[in-house]
């Protein structure tokens, strides 16, 4: 059983589901969606032609973490009672992933955790993701870690090293698939953007940045646009009404700042490829940008992906208005610094993570004698 709730989970589980479907001699994959993010996750299902066998449909307006957790566990319990899978796969650090792992544990079903071992070492940053992934790590039987550092974090927490496998990140499987395509997106708003200018792509959605932090960043974006007439700011904002309301109120009428609803995944990869630099609080973009050679200014206080920071491709800058302005302006003005941050480095994967994960599962159930060669991260 593969459990999916949000768009990032769906994107990062596509290659796993495809591999399962190519190995039906051994697997009967059951895809379950909680629909934690209804509209966003559905765009990925449509793009990749994924048809979940079960849909919990839990999303409500202004939903709370308590609502997501309790309703997901309740509905997943009914499904697991019916299906009784041999293994449950969850991805990352969402509340859906935690709820899926918890429900599987209650049913004594083995759990595979994809993207295991990421840590910011800050209980409330990101919130609730840091505690979600720690708790999943305590419940999981197999840990599919994207990097050597993630493996080491798990070992430090007492996880059996023989149950940790370095696979690379499945998100890179999807990026490499779409980055090669030159299909122009159908987003109506792109017609209003001058693509000859330098494009700053902005993406913010994390709960810890709701309110004042998001307001600070929006204020900084106005000043950046005013100072740099050769810049266009593109902000495909998250569908959460809290984010929408803040962004619209501050930025809706600003010149050369383009707002539109979050795009489908293929469109977003196209936007990443067209951008000059990226401002974000996203976890996934920290993985995607290095393989595309795009500098990232991270709108957070800490990161669970320090490899990109160490490599000089991502810089953690927080959300204070002046810091956002200063760091962005520095990248726009200093070509040497920009070139250093615009390196193409496959830090988080080589496009084979999904294959490795399914190979490992086959090995664990006795259908393959050998284990795959682990992902070899570039030396940084």
User: How far apart, in Å, are the Cα atoms of 344 and each of 102, 288, 331, 348?
Assistant: 38, 10, 17, 12
Which one of the listed residues 9, 18, 42, 129 is annotated catalytic?
129
Catalytic one of 107, 122, 197, 207: 207
Phi, psi of 137 (to 5 degrees): -60, -30
H/E stretch holding 226 reads: helix 212-227
Q: Is 129 designated active site?
A: yes
What would the DSSP string read from start to end of 36-71? TTHHHHHHHHHHHT---SEE-----TT--HHHHHHH
Residue by residue, DSSP assigns 290-312 as HHHT--EEE-SS--S-HHHHHTT
**Residue 327 annotated as catalytic:** no
Q: Is 93 a catalytic residue?
A: yes
For the record, the structure tokens of 295 come out as 């500098």
DSSP symbol at 244: H
- Respond yes or no: is residue 78 known to be catalytic: no
Distance CA 130, CA 119 (A): 7
Residues 192-214 as b/e (b if ≥16 CB within 10 A, e otherwise) read: ebeeeebbbbbbbbbbbbeeebb
Give me the catalytic one of 19, 42, 115, 307: 115
Catalytic: which of 93, 267, 287, 304? Answer: 93
From the list 133, 143, 238, 356, the catalytic residue is 238
Give me the catalytic one of 205, 256, 356, 359: 205
| Residues with active-site annotation | 93, 115, 129, 205, 207, 238
């Amino acid at each position: 059983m593969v459990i999916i709730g949000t768009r990032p989970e769906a994107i990062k589980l596509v290659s796993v589901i495809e591999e399962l479907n190519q190995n039906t001699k051994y697997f009967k994959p059951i895809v379950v969606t909680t629909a934690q993010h209804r509209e966003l996750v559905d765009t990925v299902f449509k793009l990749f032609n994924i048809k979940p066998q079960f849909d919990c449909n839990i999303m409500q307006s202004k939903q709370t973490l308590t609502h997501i957790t309790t309703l997901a566990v309740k509905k997943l319990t009914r499904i697991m009672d019916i299906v009784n899978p041999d293994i449950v796969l969850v991805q990352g650090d969402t509340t859906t992933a935690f709820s899926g792992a918890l429900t599987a544990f209650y049913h004594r079903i083995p759990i595979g955790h994809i993207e295991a071992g990421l840590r910011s070492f800050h209980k409330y940053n990101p919130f609730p993701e840091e505690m979600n992934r720690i708790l999943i790590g305590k419940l999981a039987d197999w840990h599919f870690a994207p990097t050597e550092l993630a493996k080491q974090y798990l070992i430090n927490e007492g996880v059996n090293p023989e149950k940790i496998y370095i696979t690379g990140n499945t998100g890179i499987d999807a990026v490499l698939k779409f980055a090669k395509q030159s299909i122009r997106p159908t987003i109506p708003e792109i017609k209003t953007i001058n693509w000859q200018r330098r494009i700053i792509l902005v993406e913010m959605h994390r709960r810890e940045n709701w309110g004042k932090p998001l307001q600070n960043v929006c204020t900084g974006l106005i000043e950046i646009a005013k100072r740099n007439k050769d810049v266009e700011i593109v902000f495909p904002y998250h569908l959460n009404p809290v984010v929408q309301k803040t962004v619209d109120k501050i930025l809706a009428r600003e010149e050369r700042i383009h707002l539109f609803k979050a795009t489908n995944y293929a469109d977003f990869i196209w936007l990443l490829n067209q951008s000059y630099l990226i401002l974000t609080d996203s976890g996934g973009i920290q993985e995607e940008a290095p393989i595309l050679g795009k500098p990232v200014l991270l709108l957070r206080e800490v990161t669970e992906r320090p490899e990109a920071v160490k490599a000089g491709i991502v810089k953690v800058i927080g959300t204070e208005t002046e810091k956002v302005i200063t760091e962005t302006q520095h990248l726009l003005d200093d070509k040497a610094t920009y070139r250093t941050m615009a390196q193409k480095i496959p830090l988080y994967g080589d496009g084979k993570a999904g294959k490795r994960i399914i190979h490992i599962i086959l090995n664990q159930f006795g259908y393959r004698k050998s284990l795959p060669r682990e992902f070899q991260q570039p030396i940084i």
